[in-house]
Amino acid sequence: MNKLEIHFLGGSGTVTGSKFYLHTEEIKILVDCGLFQGIKALREKNWERLPIDVSQIDYVLLTHGHLDHCGYLPLLVKQGFRGKILGTGPSLDIARIILEDSAKIQEEEAERANKEAYSKHHPALPLYTAEDVAFALRFFEQVDEGGQVSLSEHCDARFLYNGHIIGSTYIEIDLFGKRLVFSGDVGRQQDELLDPPKQPEWADYLLVESTYGDRLHPIEDVGQKLVELVNDTLYKKGTLIIPSFAVERLQSLMYQLWKLYKKNKIPNIPIFVDSPMGNNVLQVFEHYPDWHKLTPVEYRNMCNHINIVSSYAETWETIDDPRAKIVIAGSGMVTGGRVLTYIKQLGDMISTSILLVGYQAEETRGRKLLEGATELKIYGKTIPINAQVHHLESLSAHADQGELVNWMGSIKNVPEKVFLVHGEKSAMEVYKDKIRENFGWDCHIPNIHEVVEIIL
């Protein structure tokens, strides 16, 4: 008789901070190792040590490289982890870019907070440094998509394409004859840049994301919406600011705008991409052509059409540029990055428009804008917001309820238990009912730090 404990250390009752710890006598595995984002009570958890013996973990398996799935890795290593961190080639490259950017932002914000004395902490410290990231990267080890990886005598894993971002996968773990499936973040059935997700055929235990478990994405004409926003920006001689996730959404927006220009749907309005991380991600697309739909020629033409902002000095030049323009800048939930500078300087102007794309977590600046905020706190100062705020939910990289149900629909057996993770509680409750209605499966919504024991 073999006993498995599943520790829900993050991504439980909330969207961010995904961490799922599998503990057996033979092997200890952490699936994803993300940072919490959003409300202060969650962000503060990033400063807490994990309630497990980190030094015992043999492997970390990464579904993909987003911050809420990999951003805690430097802290895990600081707490004593010395195992292997496994992921696909693009996922590890994305994780490296995101971790290095995260450390840089944290160091810069701590320095600014100390200089301007707006932090309650004296001195303000970064969560981790670039040096911490460099050390964590030493434990990265690439795996092939679809191949079987032997982790111990009675444990194998497979990383299978799931179309959320470049390199992203769901993970199947065969442990003592039982199969656990971790969905990661499931992508869309139809995506401009990525293929549809592969689907699991067997799951004794299923941990499935439920970010949009309570809704369907609206049927929107994304191209027409962008055309209208561009024309409005030209008419007002203003700036269209698009806060964007550096991975996938930024590249997708570039592709959409380039296609509209190529089809003469929009004029040759200057487009600036101001995201050092996003620029690095473009190189990942170039290095892994088999992971996306863009041909090398399309990729080059698209990049040549866009103005890449490479320095902070160029950020200010872009802000001062009097022409009507489009600025795509990180971060997607307006939690940090260069977009804060643009909104701080231009957000009070009625000639400015802000287009939000993708999911906006609770209490992020993006969610506040979505809910009609007339001011934002940026770098310790309150900034009035007179810009028009728009939202394109259909550009989300997450599957909606229907796509999630479809993704699960290929499972041939009846899982012994389905755990709903990576969602707000209201969304998970709705999705739980939907799964019961469609499949009759036994679902559970775990709380953070809950431990479930399973006899294998």
- By the 8 A CB rule, do 163 and 188 touch? yes
The amino acid that residue 208 corresponds to is V
Q: How far apart are CA 210 and CA 184, in angstroms?
A: 10
Which residue has tokens 């709380």? 447
Structure-block tokens of residue 11: 């991504």
Average pLDDT over residues 295-304: 90
Is the pTM higher than 0.85? Answer: yes
Residues 373-427: tens digit of each pLDDT = 999 999 889 999 999 999 988 888 899 999 999 999 999 999 999 999 999 999 9
Average pLDDT over residues 265-280: 88
Asked whether the predicted pLDDT for residue 245 surpasses 90, the reply is no
Average pLDDT over residues 127-147: 98
Q: What are the extents of the domains in the chain?
A: 3-215+397-455, 222-395
The CATH topology of domain 3-215+397-455 is: Metallo-beta-lactamase; Chain A (3.60.15)
Instruction: Indicate the pairing of strand 84-88 with strand 59-61.
Output: parallel
Average pLDDT over residues 39-59: 95
In the CATH scheme, what is the code of domain 222-395?
Answer: 3.40.50.10890
Q: Do domains 3-215+397-455 and 222-395 have the same CATH topology?
A: no
Q: Over the chain, what is the mean pLDDT?
A: 94
Q: How far apart are CA 84 and CA 71, in angstroms?
A: 16
Of 18, 11, 144, 142, give the one whose Cα is nearest residue 76: 18
Average pLDDT over residues 336-349: 94
- Radius of gyration for the chain, computed over Cα atoms and rounded to the nearest angstrom: 22
How many of the other CB atoms lie within 10 Å of CB of 52? 18
